[in-house]
Structure 1
Amino acid sequence: MTDLMPQSAPAAAPAKRWVYVIPVAAVMYMLAYLDRNNVSVILPYMHGDLELSNADKGLVGGFFFIGYVFLQIPAAILAQRWSARKTVLLLMVAWGLAAALSGLVQTKSQFYAARFVLGFFEGGVWPAVLILLASWFPLRERARANALWMACLPLSSVLMAPLSGWMLDHAGWRWVLVLQGLPPLVWAVVWWFAVADRPAQARWISRAEADHLERSIAADEAAKPSAGSGSYRDAVRQKPVLVLIGVYFFWITGFYGFNLWLPSVIKELTHDGSSTEVGLLTAIPFTVALAVMIANAVWSDRTGRRRRAVAVPLVVGIAALLLGQAVDGALPRMVLLCLTAAAVYAPYGPFWAIPGELLRFEVVAVAMGLINALGNLGGFAGPYLVGWLTDTTGSSVTGFAVLAAFLAVAVALVAFGLRPSTQPVRRPAGQATEGVS
């Protein structure tokens, strides 16, 4: 076992959670992320189809996130009160069909609409899975659990950017969208039979093991401060929740602004190389991001320093984005692209462990849905800003400088808006106490 799976955990805490729950959820969301981000590989090779300017291409990426807002809170509530397993299943089938049908569009407006619908159905998956993981992993393991699941984000790009590039060399962009929309329909069957909402409902662990996990999670809940009357309004009116929304918005603006335009930058570095070559090179920054993302989550769980695990990588990302616009040469720019990718992915595990430390389970679903919904509007702002500024100035330098400024605001909000938690989370003897420090 690696450090990702606690070696000193008691026998009653089954290690199967780490090799069973996480991979099934990770493959599911890897397919979602593929259907969301394959457009970034496709856009440089549409060769005038649909007559898209750079600003239009930014809107293609951005309209997804307008639709993404609507089901965040409803899906979170359904996952909490009804079933995360069933909620994700329904959304998986719907987004798979929407992704496949997006390959049939004939006009720019239809492409925008298709991306909106895809975002609409995919939007509820993220908070629903976070609710699922909160029922399987105590707080002392939460950042690692989140990061291992969220590792599907860079891993999807590592695996699928080369695949999408290869498919583009052998078929049109429409076939890429259609064919990549089908796997979620197949994985929905695996999801239905493999996933359980809570340990007590799983067939692959004993009753004693399930009771141990649920007692550990109940102890975490009892140690949290009360959320007023326990209403959703009380949760979302708390200052840390509002700060987390701001942090996520400014971070995600930089994150998706970088992600959408990364293949275009690499295509420029290769002097208009083939789509297969660009896809393979695009996988390199995401490979680095995958390793750094998991390492940062492990460090965060060991030390409990959530704020540092979010802020420090973003500072590195700011520096790498700015330096990348100032240096010449393919190799130095590629190194800086790798640094930027690692920096914008690294905060995921620690960041999404913070709401569970601040709020009780009965209200954290809505809080996480709200953070994800409003924060992901940055996914509209970032790609569009880079595209519009590139059209306006004739260079991507200004666009990436603006992305760096957005990341700087996120860092400031973490540093000055989030204070260390006064309610440390219980940890096994010999480990550091954990709070939002």
Structure 2
Amino acid sequence: MTTDAMLRAIPAKRWMYVIPVAAFMYMLAYLDRNNVSVILPYMDGALALSNADKGMVGGIFFVGYVFLQIPAAVLAQRWSARKTVVLLMIAWGLAAILSGLVQSKTQFYAARFVLGLFEGGVWPAVLILLASWFPLRERARANALWMACLPLSSILMAPLSGWMLDHASWRWVLVLQGVPPLLWAVVWWFAVADRPAQARWISRAEADHLERSIAADEAAKPAARGGSYLDAVKQRSVLVLIGVYFFWITGFYGFSLWLPSVIKELTHDGSATEVGLLTALPFTIALAVMIANAGWSDRTGKRRQAVALPLLVAIAALLLGQAVDGPYARMALLCVTAAAVYAPYGPFWAIPGQLLRFEVVAVALGLINALGNLGGFAGPYLVGWLTDATGSSVTGFTVLAAFLAVAVALVTIGLRPKEQATRRTTVEAAEEV
């Protein structure tokens, strides 16, 4: 039986159990991270926040985000991804509730920092979990379906936040939206297993096949030089990926945080519900494009192109958006930009797993995510500061386009094509089993 026939014959329950539970968990994380983007335009002078201050509120989250990346990744690999995530979920839920109780600008900064601290370890821990459930040939699709929670969260939660703002204060919105992670932690504890062999719902045939496939993937990778974490992060490809992610995420969050404010301007100060509904439209398109791009990346193995081409489209759309005046044209370009900045997620996070063995990839994932996400501080703050300094958002969004251009250059020139080739494992190479 060929490998493809074997894959079709084995029930793929992991797609129905692991992905949805992880995706909903991270939807809640993304809600607690990004709900301020909908709330900030409607705080009506509360805490006396300037545009630069609002950028700081959005960006300081990512300063806290750095600190638990590598520790959580190592805990997930050496101890348990399941247990690591449930502890972080409870901690970030409490921090999110705290954000609604602040009484000063400084307290708001501190609460957002602590929220970022506890959410920071979740991303690499889940990537470690997925690496134990999905072979490389499925990795970009698995990553993209899990990461679809990012645009999906905005599709569902931006209108919800807008509706809640029309019926309650911004404080109550933050407090109430911090409760669901505490409840979902119970679901996560009983539904998720670290490895196929530990799951009660998976068939023995599927578990055995996954273990063989993942072992073959590991065997096909080059040995880690010296076998240490330090050797892994010294690799040129890891340093390039950090750079790519930083410049991409600077543009990504600089755009995402200020999107509701731009839409509010387009609607001539529409209601929070109206702005929330319109904010969901770009993310709906982004969801479809993100999954389609990941599927193309898995089929062709062209990881570099699946990252670089969408970012080129985002650059063009960001710049055009500053040159047109009509609200419909600007809204269309916002949709294109959103789709383009989300599209690289699945392919990008499939790259480290192709280059590094499992015993060292945890630290590499944590380091890439930690340092790269500092762009989440730089982007929102730059746009806010430049808007205050120039009286217009044009300069800020032009700078974001420049950051995306650097990301394109790094992924195109900095990563050699041979490093991105999808390696055939011994299982995939076999014509019969």
TM class by shorter-chain length?
over 0.9
Do 2:12 and 2:206's aligned partners in 1 also have CA atoms closer than 8 Å? no
What SS is found at the alignment partner of 1:75?
A: helix
How far apart, in 1, do the equivalents of 2:159 and 2:422 lie? 44
What SS is found at the alignment partner of 1:395?
A: coil
How far apart, in 2, do the equivalents of 1:291 and 1:349 lie? 12
How far apart, in 2, do the equivalents of 1:330 and 1:11 lie? 48
How far apart, in 2, do the equivalents of 1:147 and 1:396 lie? 31
Match of 1:43 in 2: 40
Kindly state the Cα deviation for residue 14 of structure 1 after the two structures are TM-superposed.
2.9
Match of 1:307 in 2: 304
2:356 pairs, out of 343, 353, 359, with 359
Match of 2:104 in 1: 107
Deviations 1:92-140 (CA, angstroms, capped at 9, x unpaired): 0000010011100000000000000000000000000000000000000
Match of 1:288 in 2: 285
Kindly state the Cα deviation for residue 7 of structure 1 after the two structures are TM-superposed.
8.3
Match of 2:149 in 1: 152
Residue type of the alignment partner of 1:166: W
**Matched ranges for 1:57-136 at <5 A:** 57-136=54-133
The 1:424–1:344 alpha-carbon spacing in structure 2 relative to 1, beyond 3 Å, is closer
1:332 paired with 2:329, answer yes
1:384 paired with 2:381, answer yes
Deviations 1:204-238 (CA, angstroms, capped at 9, x unpaired): 11223211101100000000011111100110000
Kindly state the Cα deviation for residue 424 of structure 1 after the two structures are TM-superposed.
4.0
What SS is found at the alignment partner of 1:47?
A: coil
Do 1:250 and 1:378's aligned partners in 2 also have CA atoms closer than 8 Å? yes
Match of 1:410 in 2: 407
What SS is found at the alignment partner of 1:14?
A: coil
What SS is found at the alignment partner of 1:104?
A: coil
Match of 2:140 in 1: 143
Do 1:13 and 1:213's aligned partners in 2 also have CA atoms closer than 8 Å? no
Do 1:161 and 1:282's aligned partners in 2 also have CA atoms closer than 8 Å? yes
Match of 1:425 in 2: 423
Residue type of the alignment partner of 2:11: P
What SS is found at the alignment partner of 2:417?
A: coil
Residue type of the alignment partner of 1:156: S
How far apart, in 2, do the equivalents of 1:9 and 1:186 lie? 38
Do 1:12 and 1:212's aligned partners in 2 also have CA atoms closer than 8 Å? no
1:165 paired with 2:165, answer no
Match of 2:192 in 1: 195
1:247 paired with 2:253, answer no
Do 2:69 and 2:366's aligned partners in 1 also have CA atoms closer than 8 Å? yes
The 1:33–1:20 alpha-carbon spacing in structure 2 relative to 1, beyond 3 Å, is same
1:222 paired with 2:219, answer yes
How far apart, in 2, do the equivalents of 1:263 and 1:61 lie? 13
Structure 1 segments, 4+ long, off by >6 Å, are: 427-430
Kindly state the Cα deviation for residue 13 of structure 1 after the two structures are TM-superposed.
3.9
Match of 1:273 in 2: 270
Residue type of the alignment partner of 1:334: M
How far apart, in 2, do the equivalents of 1:241 and 1:13 lie? 35
Residue type of the alignment partner of 1:426: R
Do 1:12 and 1:209's aligned partners in 2 also have CA atoms closer than 8 Å? no
How far apart, in 1, do the equivalents of 2:89 and 2:216 lie? 33
Residue type of the alignment partner of 2:175: V
How far apart, in 2, do the equivalents of 1:108 and 1:7 lie? 57
Return the structure number with greater helix share. 2
How far apart, in 2, do the equivalents of 1:11 and 1:294 lie? 21
How far apart, in 2, do the equivalents of 1:117 and 1:167 lie? 24
- Consecutive unaligned residues of structure 1, counting only runs of 5 or more, are 1-5, 431-437
Residue type of the alignment partner of 2:196: P
What SS is found at the alignment partner of 2:100?
A: helix
Residue type of the alignment partner of 1:351: F
What SS is found at the alignment partner of 1:211?
A: helix
Deviations 1:340-396 (CA, angstroms, capped at 9, x unpaired): 000000000000000000000000000000000000000000000000000000000
Match of 2:210 in 1: 213
Kindly state the Cα deviation for residue 12 of structure 1 after the two structures are TM-superposed.
6.2
- Consecutive unaligned residues of structure 2, counting only runs of 5 or more, are none
Deviations 1:273-315 (CA, angstroms, capped at 9, x unpaired): 0000000000000000000000000000000000000000000
How far apart, in 2, do the equivalents of 1:205 and 1:340 lie? 40
How far apart, in 2, do the equivalents of 1:272 and 1:11 lie? 52
Match of 1:435 in 2: none
Kindly state the Cα deviation for residue 9 of structure 1 after the two structures are TM-superposed.
5.0
Kindly state the Cα deviation for residue 318 of structure 1 after the two structures are TM-superposed.
0.2
TM-score, reference length from structure 1: 0.96
Kindly state the Cα deviation for residue 47 of structure 1 after the two structures are TM-superposed.
0.1
Do 2:223 and 2:357's aligned partners in 1 also have CA atoms closer than 8 Å? yes
TM-score, reference length from structure 2: 0.96
How far apart, in 2, do the equivalents of 1:265 and 1:9 lie? 50
How far apart, in 1, do the equivalents of 2:39 and 2:337 lie? 22
User: How many residues in Structure 1 have an aligned counterpart in Structure 2?
Assistant: 426
Deviations 1:303-336 (CA, angstroms, capped at 9, x unpaired): 0000000000000000000000000111000000
Kindly state the Cα deviation for residue 10 of structure 1 after the two structures are TM-superposed.
2.6
| CA RMSD of superposed structures (Å) | 1.5
What SS is found at the alignment partner of 2:418?
A: coil
How far apart, in 2, do the equivalents of 1:34 and 1:348 lie? 18
The 1:429–1:366 alpha-carbon spacing in structure 2 relative to 1, beyond 3 Å, is closer
1:375 paired with 2:372, answer yes
How far apart, in 2, do the equivalents of 1:230 and 1:360 lie? 9
Do 2:64 and 2:115's aligned partners in 1 also have CA atoms closer than 8 Å? yes
The 1:136–1:331 alpha-carbon spacing in structure 2 relative to 1, beyond 3 Å, is same
